[in-house]
Chain A
């Protein structure tokens, strides 16, 4: 499975970024190859309106199966993400990426959207 996280940094010890649209980084974890890669989303701070959709556009091509985040995407981003075969899990705010992954595996997160 390919899992993406909204993150404030680029490593397993980074904190989950609770926001979707204005998240600093998007981390992609490929369970099969055990690889963690990152997309820098920090240019989103120049976007006045419509940050959510812009970020959704970035993850579109990743073909991820799972998105793990904090509060969940806002309305605009959600309408785009709904078009993808992507399951969204929320309430990972306050955890590190590693902790969030564990929580997801142990069914501790809430499914969103």
Chain B
């Protein structure tokens, strides 16, 4: 079973659309994992029917029991995040500001503070309308994505892929360069970078590739909106060549991307004759490299 992770440094590059298109092509051979948990979008195209949903617990928040609180204020004095304020004589924790460091919990002289683990969201194992399994998660407001959640989503997806005897695990990776991206990448056999051909796209590509290089995972790149800026496109191709990143191809700026999304379709459903050959070629190139 081969794991292919699709990432892009910044948003709006077309990563999710491209991931859905590949999912469409490989629907019989793959399980899909949506690890872009802060802004999980694939379910809008794949319309999953959940067959299994589980709560996800991560991190703690401090809670002060007013009945036990002696109003000494020690907690507020040690909190580095300004999360504890006095309210009507007692001290209260502002949930949004609390970082779960538990310093107040350790220091409270009356034991008025507890640190329950937080239910920060749910992850689902679902059937997508294309027929393939989609493992995805949704975080509650203000909750932070983490390597833990991404790993959970991936391990559930891997488990499903083994159960269903699928050849590929296609992962829609987390954006940025932090812990969730690292967890998205860990265990991958191949990385596909989706980049937008623009000045900001180029600088983001470089930042992300620096991170990927640490993991010694072979990579390829798709240049989206390639005809918008031929100069940057050339510069990007030179960078890919220098860094030995496989150039999967250039996709011109296309109205099909937003149109497909607004219709809730994959690119291939939106315009089969154009997009099927494009993604088939890319898919084959990826398969060859693995």
| A/B touching: CB–CB < 8 A | yes
Q: Is B146 an interface residue, CB under 8 A from the partner?
A: yes
Chain A residues closer than 8 Å to B59, beta-carbon distance: 48
Q: Does B7 contact A (CB under 8 A)?
A: no
Asked if B86 is an interface residue, CB under 8 A from chain A, the answer is no
In angstroms, Cα B217 to Cα A75, docked, is 14
Most central of B146, B147, B151, B186 by chain A CB within 10 Å: B186
Instruction: Please report the total number of A residues contacting B with Cβ < 8 Å.
Output: 24
* Cβ-defined contact, B152 with A45, below 8 A: yes
Which A residue sits closest to B146, measured CB to CB? Answer: A48
Contact (A48, B217) CB under 8 Å given A19-B186, A21-B186 = no
Once the chains are docked, how many angstroms separate the CA of A22 from the CA of B217?
17
Cβ-Cβ contact count across A and B, 8 Å cutoff: 56
Whether A91 touches B182, Cβ cut-off 8 Å, given contacts A49-B147, A49-B148, A51-B147, is no
| Chain A residues positioned under 8 Å from B149 (CB to CB) | 48
Given contacts A72-B215, A90-B216, contact A49 B179 (CB under 8 A): yes
B249 on interface, CB distance cutoff 8 Å: no
> Cβ of B179 and Cβ of A91 under 8 Å apart?
no
B58 interface contact, C-beta 8 A: yes
Give the Cβ gap from B286 to chain A, nearest Cβ, in Å.
16
CB of B214 within 8 A of chain A? Answer: yes
In the complex, B189 has a CB within 8 A of chain A? yes
Closest-CB distance, B214 to chain A (whole angstroms): 6
B125 vs chain A, min Cβ distance (A): 16
Q: Does A46 contact B (CB under 8 A)?
A: yes
Q: Is the CB of B155 within 8 A of A45?
A: yes
Q: Which residues of B contact A46 (CB under 8 A)?
A: 148
User: Do A18 and B187 contact each other (CB < 8 Å), given the known contacts A45-B151, A48-B58?
Assistant: yes
Residue of A nearest to B182 (CB): A74
- Residues of chain A touching chain B, judged by Cβ–Cβ distance below 8 Å, are 17-22, 45-49, 51, 70-72, 74-75, 78, 90-91, 93-94, 110, 112
24 A/B residue pairs, CB under 8 Å, sorted by A = A17-B187, A18-B186, A18-B189, A21-B186, A22-B187, A45-B151, A46-B148, A48-B59, A48-B146, A49-B147, A49-B179, A51-B148, A70-B187, A71-B186, A71-B188, A71-B215, A71-B217, A72-B214, A72-B215, A72-B216, A74-B186, A75-B214, A78-B214, A90-B216
